[in-house]
Amino acid sequence: MKTLNNAVPGSRWRVLAEALLGFILLPALVIAAPPAPGDLFADGPVISDSFAVSSIQGGPWLVFVEGTDPRGDMQILWFEVTQLGGRNSTEIITLRGQNRRGFSGYVAIHMPFRIFGWQTVRAEIRIKDADGYYSEKRTHQVDVGIPTREALPEKWRPALANKLGDIYFEFERDRGDRMRSSWHD
């Protein structure tokens, strides 16, 4: 068994140099690495509240979101829209003006409504700021093709004046459902 003292000449210095280089570079790599989506930051964006009905029969699915950021540098709403057992899509809504500091508004998710039976769609929402930090995730789910039984809470009525954006989501079609998009007619 070789030890550092009786190793091949010069290898002791190589081992020492590699250890020193790793010690110097490790902090630099940790600082330069972008934050993972799950990273939270004390001064980063926050989803204060959100709301969406759990069933719709027609029209777009309105997802209401309230967000804040003390530094006022929120850049995007990050949506992961998923048809359970089918398609998924990542969509980005750019925040502009006063919405970068704080907002209460909605995103309209348009889906095809000429379907047989019903489909379940899930939306996972995060806010990302200019420094690359993300808010905690909020999740909402809707059954498409079933009448809405929920009324819009009074708190969200003023948010109807602030449309943050639109998302157009297609269902997976290879299951023989003969679905057609409502916006392609």
Q: How far apart are CA 34 and CA 39, in angstroms?
A: 10
For residue 4, the enclosing domain spans 1-33
CATH of the domain at 115: 2.60.40.10
At 102, give phi and psi (nearest 5°). -170, 150
Domain identity same for 15 and 53: no
The model's pTM:
0.71
Q: Are residues 22 and 101 in the same domain?
A: no
User: Which element (helix H / strand E) includes 108?
Assistant: strand 102-110
Question: Which of 38-42, 115-119, 140-144 has the lowest average pLDDT?
Answer: 38-42
Q: If DSSP codes are grouped into helix, strand and coil, which group holds residue 129?
A: strand
The answer to whether residues 55 and 87 belong to one domain is yes
State the Cα–Cα distance between residues 88 and 82, nearest whole angstrom.
4
**Mean pLDDT over each residue of the chain, to the nearest integer:** 79
Per-residue confidence (pLDDT) for residue 33, from 0 to 100: 44
- The number of distinct structural domains making up the chain is 2
